[in-house]
Structure 1
């Protein structure tokens, strides 16, 4: 047989129920999965998985009636007389309670070591500050303070076509706070989103600040005394509430506590006593322990894409072709009747060569 031959195909019906049932069951499964991927998982959409946005967060004071209750155990308000009072408790407004100020992070102090220090500019040790007084105190009910959040989002992947720009502001979108199980706790109201720290605790699975910290250097201290870190993800979608296509952008707050993490930051406040540089320098050093709340923006925003639809369809057809190939292999090389099936499938024509005239 010449090496230069051409192989073509012919249609052969093999009456074997094992092959037929296996093929059609597999084909039905593949077609069903392909349709589910296209229509249920919306495979006809192109997604931007990395939208970007702006975020503004601030801490505001709680309602006035939030402090009309018995103070914390083992904590007393300055000037009050409470049995077994071992540590002072102070009320601080939101501006003093929240420090440092960062763009996507909010810090809320729950415990403080406040040291009043002075430097006498000694010629022997000019860098040494002496601690004149140290106060330790808790902040009064930091869980009642309110976190205000304003944010916007845009899918930059589709930004080139202004007609298909996908963007939104939180003031025009629906939003919800979700718990650790993915269930909605409450819907956001109009205007800036307002979330109390206690609501963030509930959403993140933190029962209270009196829980013992799992940080490796906590040594049995509570979250109130040693601090903790919360991670708040604002996730956006425009496909959740529509059975076909896309809809308006929606978002959700998803809160989780970072395990084994504590939080402490040092705040230094110089005290200016005079213009003469030879005078003693003083400062207040605050070791602030508290709640660190980190915000990120994430999600998936989609639009219709004909190319994505074609890719899903071609993938399904490719799987059908692969199924037929597997059935052919079983019929021709595995089943007991494989030799007989080969005789039905393979057939060679006579050799057709152009004759040459002899002289």
Structure 2
């Protein structure tokens, strides 16, 4: 015969833990030290490493560099020496012209022209000595070695942006952008800094950060002399 009373006592019983309070200063100090270390680690991870934010590694950004000639040209001192100067437009100085990612600025130039013989077909040269093949020893000087005059006062505008594809969030510089920055030298001394206020002062219609070639040379500790 089933004992109903014992059945319900067993069915409604449960297990629990017994709490023991340890009165030992050495064990207590060790226990509280572990608790404090865990607490500090959690706070550091959440606040310093921004663990409360959803983050994603940024994809490679886009950079575009544009060169602009000064509104008025000066005659630098180096134009009065043995090497003459030429005044070129920005599109002739910068290579490549689109400035996507990298840019090269000419500061000293020499221009030669190659005049191939008449009726040359550059697609069908028969021998390495074919007169239709470009030969640097048979060029005609057009511009002898010359400096680009007033290159230090040319300005270059740098536009850059990054975008995270998963979070659909992007950052860019410019008047309406959210990226502040600074140009510094090797000692981290600021040469020029940018925010929305300074960009408005430089050019309210510009869509990037503007600096002179001289400021870039100063940051790089470079001298064209």
TM-score by length of 2: 0.64
In structure 1, the residue matched to 2:182 is 177
In structure 1, the residue matched to 2:203 is none
Instruction: Assess if the C-alpha contact under 8 Å between 2:114 and 2:134 holds in 1.
Output: no
In structure 2, the residue matched to 1:201 is 217
| Equivalent-residue separation in structure 1 for 2:212 and 2:191 (angstroms) | 16
Instruction: Assess if the C-alpha contact under 8 Å between 1:116 and 1:131 holds in 2.
Output: yes
In structure 2, the residue matched to 1:71 is 77
SS at match of 1:46: coil
1:10 CA displacement: 6.4
Change beyond 3 A, Cα 1:167–1:100:
closer
The one of the two structures with greater contact order (alpha-carbon pairs below 8 A, sep at least 6) is: 1
**1:238-257 equivalence runs, <5 A:** none
1:49 CA displacement: 2.0
**How many corresponding residue pairs?**
184
SS at match of 1:45: coil
In structure 2, the residue matched to 1:24 is 32
Change beyond 3 A, Cα 1:173–1:119:
closer
Change beyond 3 A, Cα 1:9–1:113:
farther
| Equivalent-residue separation in structure 2 for 1:178 and 1:138 (angstroms) | 26
1:97 CA displacement: 0.8
Alignment equivalent of 2:110, drawn from 110, 113, 119: 113
User: Are residue 192 (structure 1) and residue 207 (structure 2) matched?
Assistant: yes
TM-score by length of 1: 0.43
Deviation digits for residues 207-252 of structure 1 (CA, Å, limit 9, x no counterpart): 2334xxxxxxxxxxxxx7xxxxxxxxxxxxxxxxxxxxxxxxxxxx
Alignment equivalent of 1:143, drawn from 142, 152, 159: 152
| Equivalent-residue separation in structure 2 for 1:109 and 1:35 (angstroms) | 53
Structure 2 spans left out of the alignment, 5+ residues: 1-15, 201-205
CA RMSD, 1 decimal: 3.4
Change beyond 3 A, Cα 1:13–1:183:
farther
Bigger share in strand:
1
In structure 2, the residue matched to 1:262 is none
1:11 CA displacement: 5.3
| Equivalent-residue separation in structure 2 for 1:20 and 1:32 (angstroms) | 18
User: Are residue 104 (structure 1) and residue 101 (structure 2) matched?
Assistant: yes
Structure 1 spans left out of the alignment, 5+ residues: 1-7, 77-81, 160-165, 211-223, 225-359
1:52 CA displacement: 6.0
Deviation digits for residues 48-107 of structure 1 (CA, Å, limit 9, x no counterpart): 221466554321112415x25x422xxx3xxxxx4xx33222221111111222422222
Change beyond 3 A, Cα 1:177–1:43:
same
Deviation digits for residues 174-220 of structure 1 (CA, Å, limit 9, x no counterpart): 42324253868322414322222223334xx412334xxxxxxxxxx
1:132 CA displacement: 3.2
Instruction: Assess if the C-alpha contact under 8 Å between 2:58 and 2:162 holds in 1.
Output: no
Deviation digits for residues 130-177 of structure 1 (CA, Å, limit 9, x no counterpart): 133372122123232111244554321123xxxxxx335533224232
User: Are residue 95 (structure 1) and residue 104 (structure 2) matched?
Assistant: no
Deviation digits for residues 17-55 of structure 1 (CA, Å, limit 9, x no counterpart): 333323322421331232132134421011122146655
1:12 CA displacement: 5.3
| Equivalent-residue separation in structure 1 for 2:153 and 2:221 (angstroms) | 14
